[in-house]
Amino acid sequence: MKKTEENKDWLKYEKQAYDNGYEAVCGVDEAGRGPLAGPVFAAAVILPKGFIVEGANDSKKLSEKKREALFEKIKEEAVSYSIAMVDERTIDEVNILNATFMAMNDAINNLSQKPDFVMIDGNKIPNGLEIPAEAIVKGDANSISIACASILAKVSRDRYMLKMAEKYPQYQFEKHKGYGTKLHYEMLDEYGVSDIHRKTFLKSWYAKHE
């Protein structure tokens, strides 16, 4: 079996699914659960059987340039892929876990080919998912399908936040993508809360400014 430079079997979980009789194996991951602003994104991807995207790994460990290059390669090579988002208003209404599950379900349901088995990064399977599924902790560092979904979700969200940086230049979203950095909090202190901030993520900030 083909292995990466780390001698890791990236197809371990996919092979287990194939051995159990599944054919359309889908990897799913999210991006943006933690930020103070903007949507949460999720991606679902079905790769050709036995296919490995060289250089794919946990998207957070890759450079932006590398992620961008892999993003295009994954879209070209995938049997099917789908990217979904749930906005900050919905996150505030239903909480981030449920919003993440909504994004994951949307991504899975919007695939052009229906998967018969789903591998989810993390330790929980989304509510309402009726397809056989497995939650894999650190799946984005152990499954090529989840790693590719991670890249699709991360790049899509970063691109979205760059557009938000043009719309709300004072917050400098291009530098922190909405995460709670020192700079981001300084911008919040100076300019207050924008339309795309998650109000439920700013309770401690509100408390300091009462």
Which structural domains are found in the chain, ordered by start? 12-208 (3.30.420.10)
Look at residue 57 in the predicted model and tell me its pLDDT: 66
| Spacing of C-alpha 174 from chain mean position | 18
Look at residue 6 in the predicted model and tell me its pLDDT: 54
Structure tokens at 144: 């090529």
> For residues 25 and 141, what is the distance between their CA atoms, to the nearest angstrom?
17
> For residues 137 and 140, what is the distance between their CA atoms, to the nearest angstrom?
8
> For residues 91 and 8, what is the distance between their CA atoms, to the nearest angstrom?
36
Terminal Cα distance for the chain, rounded: 60
> CA angle 46-118-68, nearest 5°?
45
Given its phi and psi angles, is residue 105 left (phi above 0), alpha (psi -120 to 50 degrees) or beta?
Answer: alpha
Check residue 197 and report its DSSP letter: B
Q: Are 4 and 54 in contact (CB under 8 A)?
A: yes
Look at residue 54 in the predicted model and tell me its pLDDT: 81
Look at residue 3 in the predicted model and tell me its pLDDT: 41
Q: What is the pTM of this model?
A: 0.93
Look at residue 58 in the predicted model and tell me its pLDDT: 59
Does an H or E element contain 25, and which?
strand 25-31
Distances (CA, A) of 147 to 58, 120, 121, 166, 193: 6, 10, 9, 29, 33
- Flag residues of the chain having pLDDT under 50: 1-5
Look at residue 4 in the predicted model and tell me its pLDDT: 42
